[in-house]
Amino acid sequence: MDNLIVIKIGGNSINTLPPSFFSQIRQWMLAKKRILLIHGGGSQISELSDKLKIPVKKIDGMRITDKSTLELTRMVLLGQTQPQLLMKFTEAKIPAIGLNAADESILNGTFLDEQKYGLVGQIDSLNIKLLSEVLTHHLAILAPMALTADNQWLNVNADTAASKIAGLLKAEKLYLLTDVPGVLHNNTIIPSLSPKIADLLQSQNIITAGMKPKIQAAFNALNWGVTSVQITNQLASSGTTFVQEGDNENAISF
């Protein structure tokens, strides 16, 4: 999809988005860019799980999802974080529409590994026609949950969802916004990251559980044809840019 920018934002960031975030979105839309935002809500899901005495279990940063966790996840994403984001864009006078998997089968998926993760999915296809219509005049806010062919809801990691959606749509840019300014080594941002350096950092436990899905999602997006992929905490900062092997000229030496 031409002129598409995909942004993944964590649930923690919703209430701390700076004015510069909305200014950048507004500038892009005036320049006829299409903006698709994928929102998470992991911390809110964990917080509510604790209150309801539902155990929180993760493997390599991926949430194990049983039926109770799935219902709780849907409640948080569709009933809390998405409405909060929509209100923020309404206040900023940016036209935005909230979407989820039940809207004209917009996100279709299959189980990632049911035995290992439970009701966790991967996105296989999406309703490009619907997205194209919405993105013509609105920013779209999409929840990272998918539906199977027999209408089973599946929880999808937000970073994984954003990278696959960006890849399917051949986005020009993917921003994985997080609470750190990029991938860090000794408190310094690594300006560009190749697969080889990423593997090295993981073997040294410098890249740990919470960042692993983001790193994998970033490289997957590149492999699926997204032109530019960055992990950062704000749109105005380049953070860490992901590159193919051999293009990592500006990386920190290890």
Residues placed in the known binding site = 41-42, 63, 155
Tell me the binding residues for substrate.
41-42, 63, 155
* CA 197 – CA 192 distance, rounded (Å): 10
